[in-house]
Amino acid sequence: MDDLASAQAKLPPIGSVPAAERMIRANWLTHLERSPSGSPLVWPEFVARQGASVRLVDVREPGELVGPLGHIPGVDWVPTDRVASLRERLHEDDIVVLISRAGERSAPLAKALEEAGMRFVASMVGGMVTWKYLGFQTSRDAAVLSRRDHLAERRAHGAVERPLSAGAVEAHLGDPTSLRWMKLAALALHGRQSCVDGRDETGVIGTPGGDSGELLLGLAALEAVTGSKLSPLQIGAFFSRRIETFGRFYLHGDVHAANELIGSIRGDRRLDAAIAGITDSLAWRAFFSAPPAHVREALLEHALEPTHIGCGHLRLAMLSPERYGARRELAQELVRCFFRARWSGAVETEYEVLAGSHEEGAVVNILVEEPLRSYTMIPLVSPTANGTQMFVNHPQVSAQARQDLAHFLVQQHDIAEVGAAHVEPILHEIGRLAGVQLGETLGRLAAGLPIYEARFGRKGTFHVTACGHVGGPREAA
């Protein structure tokens, strides 16, 4: 994989594109890998989360697009013999993912485009074979064949509408580049829960704080039910078991908190040698991804300060522990465990840095009409695109995941004194705390915003219903 410092040359000059777009490209580079022959690659799980900022281009033959493997909804179709033309038809800084049957055609094409000057192009590892195997949505709609060699127009960025109307929410959800779909079983095995934060341009399954917020909920509920405070060693053991059992674990930061953190670090003489010569954002990103072992504990002293936590939900929980029903030390220890695991090479840990300020115009609860089953398709929604920002919450998926979390926690009886009798009390306490914490976070970050319910049917149809305002008669569920 390219290291971030060497990837700096691939970024546009500072100031030539908006900060949010620079951050999208920086996050892209952290997920980029290389094949033995040097072709740029990204994994299907990463592609599935990408919103309108990333263009997906299928390079296969007509019969393949409508055959058993199908195609990704919203994809552009550019046959292999026309792929080279993308260099002239797109900007060199456009982000493009090429897709073929199993990656055998798209990988060399991506490498050729990169060598021709496109700086953010890659092939999807495993192509449509892996995409379908992992449980992501496909389509066999023959309408794609009418768009041969046509690059869909991207909506122009407009002024942020705040608050968002129901029509604006409908337009956002109706844009195929704002949605990806994933089977619930695949989500449990290959996905992760992201924060409700509206600044994320990737498709998310939203819950306050994402995976970090959910584990904080679970451990706080366990402490409340058992009446015992977990020690740092116990919290670390629960964290390690959590990523071993469920896989991906998500935590996000933001540029504002990162700048505060960098300022604090620069004032610590213990870190002078380690940060000498670091001046640009990608070099800082490389440093935070794998700091020298001898400065990690000193670095954590700065990273665990609430003002240096980019996730608003976790930061507020640390600042007002009595209102969130979770000890500040519990939240801080979870963040400590995350970075220690990440710095030790735990591939399950995912850290994203979000750019910009909160300009959300609504809270949108994403629901599906049918009862959740392992085969239920769940929409991953991009909270922001083309000037639209919204808090995205998936209450059904979160409720399902919390049942698994409660059962998981009580099975760790070698870590804490818990057993099967604690399942229902812990689940009940998780539900109670979840409502309290969601209300606290949205009450501070989304005060007065409209709440909408977007309910999806099996065929992808949906309808949006207004449900009051944050702080009004009905809170977001």
Identify the weakest region by mean pLDDT among 47-61, 219-233, 415-429: 47-61
Q: What is the rounded average pLDDT of the residues 329-353?
A: 94
List, in order, residues 6 or more apart from 277 with CB less than 8 Å away. Answer: 283
Q: Is residue 458 part of a domain?
A: yes
Identify the weakest region by mean pLDDT among 2-11, 151-160, 278-287, 403-412: 2-11
Q: What is the pLDDT of residue 16?
A: 41
Q: What is the rounded average pLDDT of the residues 417-441?
A: 96
Q: What is the pLDDT of residue 358?
A: 85
d(CA 82, CA 63): 17
Q: What is the pLDDT of residue 19?
A: 53
Does residue 143 share a domain with residue 172?
no
Among candidates 77, 244, 139, which has minimal Cα distance to 459?
Answer: 139
pLDDT digits (tens, 9 = 90+) for 227-281: 999 999 999 999 999 999 998 899 999 989 999 999 999 999 999 999 998 988 7
Q: What is the pLDDT of residue 308?
A: 96
Does residue 311 share a domain with residue 256?
yes
Q: Is the predicted pLDDT of residue 12 greater than 70, yes or no?
A: no
Q: Is the predicted pLDDT of residue 4 greater than 50, yes or no?
A: no
Does residue 39 share a domain with residue 118?
yes
> Please, what is the average pLDDT of the chain?
89
Last residue of a domain, one of 116, 147, 178: 147
Which amino acid is residue 245, in one-letter code?
T
Strands 40-42 and 33-34: antiparallel
Identify the weakest region by mean pLDDT among 9-18, 299-308, 382-391, 460-469: 9-18
C-alpha angle 120-47-108 in degrees, rounded to nearest 5 = 50
Our measurement of the distance from residue 86's CA atom to the centroid of its chain's CA atoms, rounded to an integer in Å, reads 28
Does residue 86 share a domain with residue 228?
no
Contact predicate 421/342, CB 8 Å: no
Does residue 170 share a domain with residue 133?
no
Q: What is the pLDDT of residue 204?
A: 87
Contact predicate 423/410, CB 8 Å: yes
Which CATH number goes with the domain that contains 74?
Answer: 3.40.250.10
Does residue 428 share a domain with residue 335?
yes
Our measurement of the distance from residue 373's CA atom to the centroid of its chain's CA atoms, rounded to an integer in Å, reads 23
Q: What is the pLDDT of residue 153?
A: 77
Domain count of the fold of the chain = 2
Q: What is the pLDDT of residue 475?
A: 38
pLDDT digits (tens, 9 = 90+) for 132-148: 988 888 889 999 999 99
Confidence of residue 155 (pLDDT cuts 50, 70, 90): low
Q: Is residue 476 part of a domain?
A: no
Q: Tell me the residue range of the domain where 453 lies.
A: 166-469
Contact predicate 436/232, CB 8 Å: no
Q: Is residue 19 part of a domain?
A: yes
d(CA 46, CA 130): 13
Q: Is the predicted pLDDT of residue 182 greater than 70, yes or no?
A: yes
Q: Is the predicted pLDDT of residue 154 greater than 70, yes or no?
A: no
List, in order, residues 6 or more apart from 22 with CB less than 8 Å away. Answer: 11, 12, 14, 281, 355
Q: Give CA separation, 32 vs 14, 51, 89, 156, 225, in Å.
A: 21, 17, 23, 27, 43
Q: Is the predicted pLDDT of residue 304 greater than 50, yes or no?
A: yes
Does residue 332 share a domain with residue 205?
yes
Q: What is the pLDDT of residue 46?
A: 86
Does residue 112 share a domain with residue 46?
yes
Q: Classify burial at 256, counting beta carbons within 10 Å of its beta carbon; exposed 0-12, middle 13-18, buried 19 or more.
A: middle
Query: How many CB atoms are closer than 10 A to CB 436?
Result: 15
Does residue 219 share a domain with residue 86?
no
Does residue 112 share a domain with residue 180?
no
Q: Is residue 227 part of a domain?
A: yes
Last residue of a domain, one of 120, 147, 174: 147
Our measurement of the distance from residue 360's CA atom to the centroid of its chain's CA atoms, rounded to an integer in Å, reads 17
d(CA 369, CA 453): 11
Does residue 446 share a domain with residue 325?
yes
Q: What is the pLDDT of residue 295?
A: 96
Q: Is the predicted pLDDT of residue 5 greater than 80, yes or no?
A: no
Q: What is the pLDDT of residue 7?
A: 37
Confidence of residue 352 (pLDDT cuts 50, 70, 90): confident
Does residue 138 share a domain with residue 232?
no
C-alpha angle 117-74-248 in degrees, rounded to nearest 5 = 80
Confidence of residue 201 (pLDDT cuts 50, 70, 90): confident
